[in-house]
Amino acid sequence: MPLVTWGDRGKGFDMDTAVVGSRPIDSVLTNAGGRLRPSQAEAEAAVRTLIEWAGDDPEREGLAGTPERVVRAYEEFFAGYNEDPVALLSTTFEETAAYDEMIVLRDIRLESHCEHHIVPILGKAHVGYLPAGRVVGISKLARLVEVFAKRMQIQEALTSQIADTIQEVLKPRGVGVVIEAAHQCITTRGIRKPGVSMITSRMLGSFRDDSATRRQFLAMIGSPRSGSNGS
């Protein structure tokens, strides 16, 4: 079978069963990006290589089961690649008794991973929107944050993805998203500055254009609180 590349998508290949070279048959494409996903055996072998590179013996008793555990942990850490954030918000409610004031969900626990070093980003997200006839269940807002967070991320992109998806699907009068988080790529390595948190925001519609709306949202979520950075 010839090498399957990104450019071959949509040209008649069975992309769910295609293999490259001698890769096992359980190597399958990821849902995003169209790249061949390594098998679990390949992923575990990669972890064993990293253990050896770090200077330890992957066969010793304490580490023998570590490759499998790491792969299972990665499945949990990056489960967001397997979910469609647009579909998540597809069920909405129009019977709102003409409610047209701001809806805010604050202090949503955030656990993500920096795409540069694959170390944790820990903090909180605050999400608000002004409905235009339709609202979504509040649990869906928290799930939306989780779907994008459970991918390799930078905080700036994560903030925009959450806000842009709400705007695209719900089409509200405005959206505001603020994230405050600590990045272990600077608190536990490199410059090593514990206690530092990063704050990003994305304002759309009336949250961007109307200063009164923006002030109301920021007042409702409050100023950054101690302990919110997860450090």
pLDDT band at 34 (very low <50, low <70, confident <90, very high): confident
Pick the CATH number of 6-80 from 1.20.140.10, 1.20.1560.10, 1.10.286.10, 1.10.357.10: 1.10.286.10
pLDDT tens digits for range 180-197: 999 999 988 888 888 889
Number of residues that make up the chain: 231
Q: Is 126 a catalytic residue?
A: no
Q: Which CATH class is domain 87-221?
A: alpha beta
Give the model's pLDDT for residue 192: 84
Domain extent listing, the chain: 6-80, 87-221
Which of these is catalytic: 155, 161, 167, 184?
155
Q: Is 168 a catalytic residue?
A: no
Cβ neighbours around 206 below 10 Å, total: 20
For residues 198 and 93, the answer to whether their CB atoms sit within 8 Å is: no
Mean pLDDT of all residues in 18-38: 55
**pLDDT, greater one: 131 or 3:** 131
Mean pLDDT of all residues in 1-12: 35
Helices 138-149 and 155-170 sit at what angle, rounded to 10 degrees? Answer: 140
> pTM of the full predicted structure?
0.81
pLDDT band at 1 (very low <50, low <70, confident <90, very high): very low
Q: Which residues lie below 8 Å from residue 15, measured CB to CB, with a gap of 6+?
A: 4, 9, 29, 34
Give the model's pLDDT for residue 32: 57
Which of these is catalytic: 42, 83, 115, 216?
115
Q: Is 185 a catalytic residue?
A: yes
pLDDT at 56 over 50: yes
Give the model's pLDDT for residue 226: 39
Give the model's pLDDT for residue 116: 95
For residues 177 and 220, the answer to whether their CB atoms sit within 8 Å is: no
pLDDT at 72 over 60: yes
Mean pLDDT of all residues in 63-76: 97
Q: Is 113 a catalytic residue?
A: no
pLDDT at 79 over 70: yes
Q: Is 117 a catalytic residue?
A: yes
